[in-house]
Structure 1
Amino acid sequence: MTCEKSAFLRLGRFAPTLGVRDIEASCLMYSALFGLEKVFTNGDPVGFMILKKDAAELHLTLQKDHKPERFNVAHLLVSDVDDVHRRCVERNLRIIKRLQDKGYGLRAFVFADLDGNRIDIGQALEG
């Protein structure tokens, strides 16, 4: 079995959904880290939320018994990876992989959010 290309198919929005135990705390954290804004909520109490900034969208779903995966669940390219890293450190978020220049052309690191979800953050290296 091989991966196939499809010349006729265009993709639109593609948004990861993260399970979280405290949806409001996660909203505040992701807003502080990335400037994401809450654009949609569902439920009373809120059990689903959409956060958005620029072309990036993140969906949060309330999962009281959430157990994080042991792999990166999302990858995000940003314009200032050093600033995002600083914000993570200031908030005492666990850094899984340290900030460093990678051989594949990114400066990147991986952190765990409040629920242990592993997020890979990168910025394209110049040149």
Structure 2
Amino acid sequence: MLPVSDMTRACAFYEDVLGFKKVFENGNPVGFMILKRDDGELHLTLQPQHEAADFNVAHLLVDDAEALFRRCQQAGLRIVKGLKDKDYGLRAFVFEDPDGNRIDVGQIIGRSAHPAGS
């Protein structure tokens, strides 16, 4: 679950930049939301006074880290750690969402992160 200070802005970011789709929301104003993409599910909670942590709060395993890295750059997001192949078998980078939440992105090097049939 990620805390966000502006639910509308956060929803737009996760849908437009990361390709998630909203599947549930609760409250008026909306205080809780669930977004999904493929096998991933993300829960957002409204925290108007949210102050971001200085560590990674979510991890995404993706099929194409470079494409997502480019989308994050094009969206003007702060890149905390640049795209790099790691010795533990991931191509990875870290970015901050519009609320400053640090998201660690990884792609398994040498094979698809989501093999067919799984």
Normalised to the residue count of structure 1, the TM-score between the two structures is 0.85
State the AA in 2 paired with 1:24. T
Q: Does 1:25 align with 2:38?
A: no
The structure having more radius of gyration, on CA atoms, is 1
**What are the residue-to-residue correspondences of 1:99-110 with 2, within 5 Å?**
99-110=83-94
Runs of 4+ with deviation above 2 angstroms? none
Count of paired positions: 111
RMSD: 0.9
Q: What are the superposed Cα offsets for residues 57-85 of structure 1, whole Å, 9 maximum, x if unpaired?
A: 00011110001111100111001111110
Structure 2 residue aligned with 1:126:
110
Task: Kindly indicate whether residue 20 of structure 2 is the aligned counterpart of residue 74 of structure 1.
Answer: no
Are residues 1:35 and 2:19 paired?
yes
Match of 1:64 among 37, 48, 55: 48
Alpha-carbon deviation of 1:32?
Answer: 1.8
Instruction: Look up the SS of the partner of 1:109 in the other structure.
Output: strand
Q: Does 1:92 pair with 2:64?
A: no
SS of the equivalent of 1:34 reads coil
1:24-66 Cα deviation digits (max 9, x unpaired)? 1111111122210000000011011000011100001111000
Letter in 1 for 2:68: V
Q: Please list every run of 5 or more consecutive structure 2 residues that lacks an aligned counterpart in the other structure.
A: 112-118
